[in-house]
Amino acid sequence: MAVTRPTKDDVRAFAQRFRYDYDESEVHELHALAVGGLASYDVVDRLYAAHVEVEPPVRESHRPRDEDNPLGAWYVRTEIAPTSGGVLDGRTVAVKDNIAVAGVPMTNGSRTLEGYVPREDATVVTRVLAAGATILGKAVCEDLCFSGSSFTSSTGPVRNPWDHGRTTGGSSSGNAALLASGEVDLAIGGDQGGSVRLPASFSGVVGHKPTFGLVPYTGAFPIERTIDHLGPMARTVEDAALLLSVLAGADGLDARQAEAFRGPGDLSTIGAGVSGLRIGLVTEGFGIPGLSDPEVDDIVTAAAEALSADGATVTRISVPEHADAGALWGVIATDGATYQMLDGNGYGLGVPGYYDPHQMEHFARGKLERGHALAESVKVTALTGAWGLHGLGGASYAKAQRLVPYVRAGYDAALAQVDVLVMPTAPFTALELLEAGDDRPEYLRKALSMIGNTAPFDVTGHPATSVPAGLASGLPVGLMVVAPRFDDALALRVAAAVQARCGTLTPPALAQHA
């Protein structure tokens, strides 16, 4: 099959875009040369069809009725049986809708991807099915995953089981609602700025952002390859660790796993307690001006200090770099997402490994045809990032990436003094969902203001676990444990000790029917 050829008008438009000064006779000549140069593209199409192309499996799925989806958390329902038995026998799983499940529709929360059906399972999907789990469906996520709240998805808001007028957190919003309401046992989420940990915090469940590269991102819709993570969500730390044990491991396809792979640590130790461990409460993660709720700070502090009775040493520690780390994320996520996700049709170019050409092609059309329907958080990011790339030449992105080792070293220095770092996952409890009359600044506040403690660790790659620490005014509060890179087991071990002290959380409506 021949690839689509440009018209002379296309060549003229591209020449003008690059500010090439050609007259009409030159445009005519260049059009012929460009068309001739596409012969190799035809060869690649033929080879791809012969050696790589697969047809999606036939898997039944359906959009649930509103009465069967009261929290707005399911995008599609299905029931995919395990391919073999394993440690997840009998467990049910929800998959965030930015992760490919072959033969099942995927939108990534956005009208720009409507109608897309993946042909291949993401690596993490293959792994949970091989471990004995049953996939019950795709969970709603935020528009292109660019929100820490739960009102930007094209299917409408995802409602918090604790208070239906509040956010579940995002962007793994549907996962959190389905776990907290007891509809599934486990969920696979994605985290680029806190999108596993924030919904866990706001909804009273557990979310773990693994060490960067520990879990392959293959088959998930990217935002920016240096901050992309997939991770487990569950109602208990033990279940999150069990799911991590299935998800972790190199797959040979994801360039994010280029760093020497060291695994998650010994996950069998998560019940070992905290006796002898040094726990550092990060000063800069508390009392954030204009954001932190003192009640949230107090609950997290009390939960951490209670571990002293279990033999841990709990101290305050300053990590000055934490106050600035969010700015690095802001530049990397803004310029990077504009360059890779929006201009690069999700995958971008220039890195070896896995690409989904069908998804790229579908999204390229969809963002032009339905880009007007994108969430405000995406649009503002795109406009800011366009200036960063074209007005500033991408220099700020380059500077931010050069500063990552400096910020990472700040956390590593603190982790040389203590074993883990602790702070609130989010500085406040779940905000109200978007309301009629909210203006654009309020929209952005509700969508993005909660990421200050979570986003830095997407940049530095440290593992981080959010575990419930209690309730503030009747809403869940998450405590975040940060460990050295590739010691995910240690973060989960301390989180398990917090859980043993604070217990798990159940929304009141469910508790009444228990």
Q: Which positions are annotated as active-site residues?
A: 96, 171, 195
**Pairing relation of β-strands 74-80 and 278-282?**
unpaired
Give the burial string for 415-437 (b: 16+ CB within 10 Å, else e): beebbbbbbbbbbbbbbebbeee
For residue 74, the cross-strand partners are 139
Q: ∠117-377-125 over CA atoms, to 5°?
A: 30
How far apart are the C-alpha atoms of 359 and 341, rounded to whole Å?
A: 12
Residue 496 backbone dihedrals phi, psi, to 5 degrees? -65, -35
Q: Decide if 149 contacts 143 (C-beta within 8 A).
A: no
User: Token pair 């339905």 is at which residue?
Assistant: 370
**Pairing relation of β-strands 92-96 and 134-139?**
parallel
DSSP letters along 365-417, please?
HHHHHSGGGS-HHHHHHHHHHHIIIIISTTHHHHHHHHHHHHHHHHHHHHHHH
Question: 86: exposed, middle or buried (C-beta count within 10 Å: 0-12, 13-18, 19+)?
Answer: middle
**Pairing relation of β-strands 159-160 and 74-80?**
unpaired
Residue 456, CA atoms < 13 Å, CB-side half-sphere: 27
Q: Decide if 450 contacts 194 (C-beta within 8 A).
A: yes
User: Closest Cα partner for 231 from 241, 222, 221?
Assistant: 241
How far apart are the C-alpha atoms of 477 and 466, rounded to whole Å?
A: 9
Number of H helices, E strands in the chain: 16, 14
What Å distances lie between residue 138 and 74, 82, 147, 208, 467, CA to CA? 6, 16, 18, 19, 24
Q: Which amino acid is at 387?
A: W
**Pairing relation of β-strands 278-282 and 313-317?**
parallel
How far apart are the C-alpha atoms of 107 and 112, rounded to whole Å?
A: 8
Q: ∠9-14-16 over CA atoms, to 5°?
A: 95
How far apart are the C-alpha atoms of 279 and 419, rounded to whole Å?
A: 6
Q: Decide if 181 contacts 510 (C-beta within 8 A).
A: yes
187: left (phi over 0), alpha (psi -120 to 50) or beta: beta
